[in-house]
A and B are shown apart, each in its own frame.
Chain A
Amino acid sequence: MINRNPQLDAHGVLQHLLTTEGLPASILLQILDTAESFVGVTERDVKKIPLLRGKSIFNLFFEPSTRTRTTFEIAAKRLSADVFNLNIAVSAQSKGETLLDTVNNLSAMNADMFVVRHAQSGAAHLIAKHVRSEIHVINAGDGSHAHPTQALLDMFTIRRYKHDFHNLRVAIIGDILHSRVARSQIHALTTLGVPEVRVIAPKTLLPKMVERLGVQVYHDMAKGLKDIDVLMMLRLQNERMQGANLPSPEEYFKYYGLTPEKLSLARRDAIVMHPGPMNRGVEIDSAVADGKQSVILPQVTFGIAVRMAVMSILAGNQV
């Protein structure tokens, strides 16, 4: 028997969004196309539609996050769902309850969907395998494994500004080693047909055998940024940095921080993206972050439309 993708049912229909890895381009594009329609909704006076009225969505955040949790909350509210935010880092788990006991209790309260953020890779998968078939799970970031909605909103942003994936050179720059965002981005970019994906980072911030993901590896910004259409910056994850991977933030900025001078090495119409929160003066210079080529704030806006699309597609895909 073929080991089927745990996100899809027997008919290949999306039941959970856990990772961009292994999802067909048709599903990624359906999410992006649906999100286009939600952008219109978020620009209206009444930014709400009745689609998920009566549905209960639980934001299960086992790891602190303000931005991602808020965008999921806004997305769910704009779909008219009822949203419950649980910061489990400071509640039941500190009393000793296991992850699956927490999920069982919330399922008994008739949850329809879980949005899960967890420091442990695979946590969202575990919950998706455990819940009843009518409950859908969205991974909002698990350890250094995956962050699919971030990658999808990045793809949405790229398509908005560059229109087509098939003639692009994209560079992902920074802490690839600890980044769930980078992994999800690489899978989505290659599935959507981007012919050249580069990663630019010091050796200490690259996972072993990263080439196997289908990317070209550069350690030097001057070489890596040549002819690039899209720069995807990553946050330097101080909180995940164990030991001396880096000499100092200042030294990192000198070699890998995106300054106007380094940006000028890419194509003149290149766009600059960042998943936030930014460390200004570490991975990105303020002049770039606030500059003409930056699409960092549009990313945030599109993130709501993309999360609305994911939630409504999942809620509609009942078995």
Chain B
Amino acid sequence: MQLPDAELLLKNLVKEIQPDVASKHFALIGIHTGGVWLAERLHQELAITLPLGALDVSFYRDDFDKIGLHSQVKPSEIPFEVEGAHILLVDDVLYTGRTIRAAINELFDYGRPASVSLATLVDRGGRELPIAAQYIGETLKLPTDKMLELRCDDHGKLSLNLYHKSLSE
């Protein structure tokens, strides 16, 4: 199937978030790995002044008992005060909602934010938890046996990649 151009979706997303940036003073947090690439671009294009945060939700996942610890855990880094901040969580693909649940749990161990919003490049439906994104690049309907992920080439250009579930770890 023909996947949309990630760079184009990024432009859509910037337009969606832009009107709220002035009033909310968003602090951006990307979720590893695709969400961090996306957050870096949003941070730049929305000219956010607060430094960029990054979360690796491996320690908060609900499938630890099934699949163990991810072999490449990256440190979470939140270089600003979470207490009282308007947080904009950024992830590349929104699917079951479990990653976002884990991210919110982790976030609250840093403090009590004033609000948490979610931006995603692609919402592919299939939610298993009551979670919704406020800013969406595009909504796609995809077969359940397919995984969608964001890629970033050496020049920082973003693209979407669809692959069969059996090829994931």
Contact = CB atoms under 8 A, between A and B. Distances in A.
A316 B109 contact: no
B68 A318 contact: yes
Contacts of A30: 71
A318 B110 CA distance: 30
A312 B58 CA distance: 11
A44 interface: yes
A37 B109 contact: no
A49 interface: yes
Nearest to A39: B75
B109 A51 contact: no
A44 B75 CA distance: 12
A51 B64 contact: yes
Interface string A28-42: 001001101101110
A261 interface: no
Interface in B81-133: 105-106, 109-111
Contacts, number: 51
A49 B109 contact: yes
Interface residues of B, number: 21
Interface string B64-79: 1101110111111100
Contacts of B67: 316
Interface in A28-83: 30, 33-34, 36-37, 39-41, 44-46, 48-51
- How many chain A residues sit at the interface, stated as a range, is 20 to 34
Contacts of B106: 49
A110 interface: no
Contacts of B56: 37
Interface of B: 56, 58-60, 64-65, 67-69, 71-77, 105-106, 109-111
20 contacts: A34-B73, A37-B75, A37-B76, A39-B75, A40-B76, A41-B76, A44-B110, A45-B109, A45-B110, A46-B109, A49-B59, A50-B59, A50-B60, A51-B69, A312-B59, A313-B68, A313-B69, A315-B68, A316-B64, A316-B68
